[in-house]
C-alpha cells in the first residue's frame, strides 16, 4: 500500500511555522527593547529649555539668580558650534577693566541662571563673567544632551570667543555637575595658554558609571521597563539609541580619561552627602588627574549644592587655589 504523504507535508510545514513564530517573538522583543531605549533616551537625553524647578532654593541660589537677571552691563553673546548650532551666553563685564574671565558652565536641565551664585562671586572679585546656556538648554539650540562630550567643543568655542575680544585674557573654567564634566573633558584636549585653571564641582567619572548608578538607585524616575532588567542591559539600549539618534557614543563621555591627559590646574569639589553623583567619583577623578590639583570635600552638601551649603568654606578653598594661577588676585 502506498504511504500517505500527509504526515510528511505536515512535518515540513512545522519548522516553517516554528521559525515564523520565533521571528515574530524576536521582532516583538526587539520592538520592546527599542521602546525601552527610546523611553530612556527621552528621559536622559532630551534637553530642557527652561531652568529646572527648585522647590526651596537657598539664599545663595536666590541671590545668584537675581543678580544674573539684573546685572549691570549684562549683554547677550552668541557663537556657532562646530555642528552649526547657535549657542547663547550671558556676559557680565567687570565693573572696572580686567583681563580676568570666568566661564561658568551649568548642569543638566538647567540654564545659565543656575550659575548665578558662582558668577556673582567672581564678578565681586573684579572678573568678567561669561555664563553660557549649554546646547539644548535655555536660549541655545540643540535637541539632545551630550553629557559633556559635544559640550566640551562648545566650551572651546566660548574660550575662543573671549580671546577674540580680549587676547590678553586670563581664563578660568568653572563647572557644576554636567558643567563640571564639560570642563574636565575640555581640559583633556589642547587648550590655549590663556586658560589658567579649572574648578570641577561634583563631576561624574563617566556617563556610563553615572547611568548605572542612576538606573540602580533611581530607576522608577527614569524607566518603567516591562520586565526587570539589569542596568547593563538598560545602558546598552540607551547607548544604541543615542548612537542612532544623537550620533555619538555615550562611552566617549568620560571625564576620567580626560583628566589623565589634562595639564590645566584643577580644583575638585564634591558634596559628601551627594547621592546622585556619588562622592566616591571625585576620589577617582582626583587620583586619575595628572595635572596640578587640589580637592575639597564639602560636608553636609548634596548634589550641586556645595556653594549653597557653606559659601565661606567653598570660596575660601576656591580663592586659595586660584591665588597660585592668578597671583595678583588680591
**Residue ranges covered by each domain of the chain:** 17-46+207-244, 56-205+253-322
Pairing of strands 170-176, 100-105: parallel
Report the mean per-residue pLDDT for the chain.
Answer: 89
Residues 171-227 have pLDDT tens digits of 999 999 999 999 999 999 999 999 999 999 999 999 999 999 999 888 777 666 555
Looking at the chain, the whole-number percentage of residues with pLDDT higher than 90 is: 77
Q: What is the pLDDT of residue 50?
A: 63
Least-confidence region, from 32-36, 40-44, 185-189: 32-36
Residues 152-185 have pLDDT tens digits of 999 999 999 999 999 999 999 999 999 999 999 9
Q: What is the pLDDT of residue 270?
A: 99
CA distance 319 to 330: 9
Residues 6 or more apart whose CB falls under 8 angstroms from that of 325 comprise 196, 197, 265
Assigned fold of 56-205+253-322? Rossmann fold (3.40.50)
Residue range 107-112: average pLDDT? Answer: 96
Residues 281-311 have pLDDT tens digits of 999 999 999 999 999 999 999 999 999 999 9
Eight-state DSSP code of residue 227: S
- Whether 316 has a pLDDT exceeding 70, the answer reads yes
Cβ atoms 171, 321 nearer than 8 A: no
Q: What is the pLDDT of residue 61?
A: 87
pTM across the whole model? 0.88
Degrees, nearest 5: CA angle 275-174-163 = 155
CA distance 94 to 123: 6
CA distance 195 to 103: 10
Amino acid at each position: 500500500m502506498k504511504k500517505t504523504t500527509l504526515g510528511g507535508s505536515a512535518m515540513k510545514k512545522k519548522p516553517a511555522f516554528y521559525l515564523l513564530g520565533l521571528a515574530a517573538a524576536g521582532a516583538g522583543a526587539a520592538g520592546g527593547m527599542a521602546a525601552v531605549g527610546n523611553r530612556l533616551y527621552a528621559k536622559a537625553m532630551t534637553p530642557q529649555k527652561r531652568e529646572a524647578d527648585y522647590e526651596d532654593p537657598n539664599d545663595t541660589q536666590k541671590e545668584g539668580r537675581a543678580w544674573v537677571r539684573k546685572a549691570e552691563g549684562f549683554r547677550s553673546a552668541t557663537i556657532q558650534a562646530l555642528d552649526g548650532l547657535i549657542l547663547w551666553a550671558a556676559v557680565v563685564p567687570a565693573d572696572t577693566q580686567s583681563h580676568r574671565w570666568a566661564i561658568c558652565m551649568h548642569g543638566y536641565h538647567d540654564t545659565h541662571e543656575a550659575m548665578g551664585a558662582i558668577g556673582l562671586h567672581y564678578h565681586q572679585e573684579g572678573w568678567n563673567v561669561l555664563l553660557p546656556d549649554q546646547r539644548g538648554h535655555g536660549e541655545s539650540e540643540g535637541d539632545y544632551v551630550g553629557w559633556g562630550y559635544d559640550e566640551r567643543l562648545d566650551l572651546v568655542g566660548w574660550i575662543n570667543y573671549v580671546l577674540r575680544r580680549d587676547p590678553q585674557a586670563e581664563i578660568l573654567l568653572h563647572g557644576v555637575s554636567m558643567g563640571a564634566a564639560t570642563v574636565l573633558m575640555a581640559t583633556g584636549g589642547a587648550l590655549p595658554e590663556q586658560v589658567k585653571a579649572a574648578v570641577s564641582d561634583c563631576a561624574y567619572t563617566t556617563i556610563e558609571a553615572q547611568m548605572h548608578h542612576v538606573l540602580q538607585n533611581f530607576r522608577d524616575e527614569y524607566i518603567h521597563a516591562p520586565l526587570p532588567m539589569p542596568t547593563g542591559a538598560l545602558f546598552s539600549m540607551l547607548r544604541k539609541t543615542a548612537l542612532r539618534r544623537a550620533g555619538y557614543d555615550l562611552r566617549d563621555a568620560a571625564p576620567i580619561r580626560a583628566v589623565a591627559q589634562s595639564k590645566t590646574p584643577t580644583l575638585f569639589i564634591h558634596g559628601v552627602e551627594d547621592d546622585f553623583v556619588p562622592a566616591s567619583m571625585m576620589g577617582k577623578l582626583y587620583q586619575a588627574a595628572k595635572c596640578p590639583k587640589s580637592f575639597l570635600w564639602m560636608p553636609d552638601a548634596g548634589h550641586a549644592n556645595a556653594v549653597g551649603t557653606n559659601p565661606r568654606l567653598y570660596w575660601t578653598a576656591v580663592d586659595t587655589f586660584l591665588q597660585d594661577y592668578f597671583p595678583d588676585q588680591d
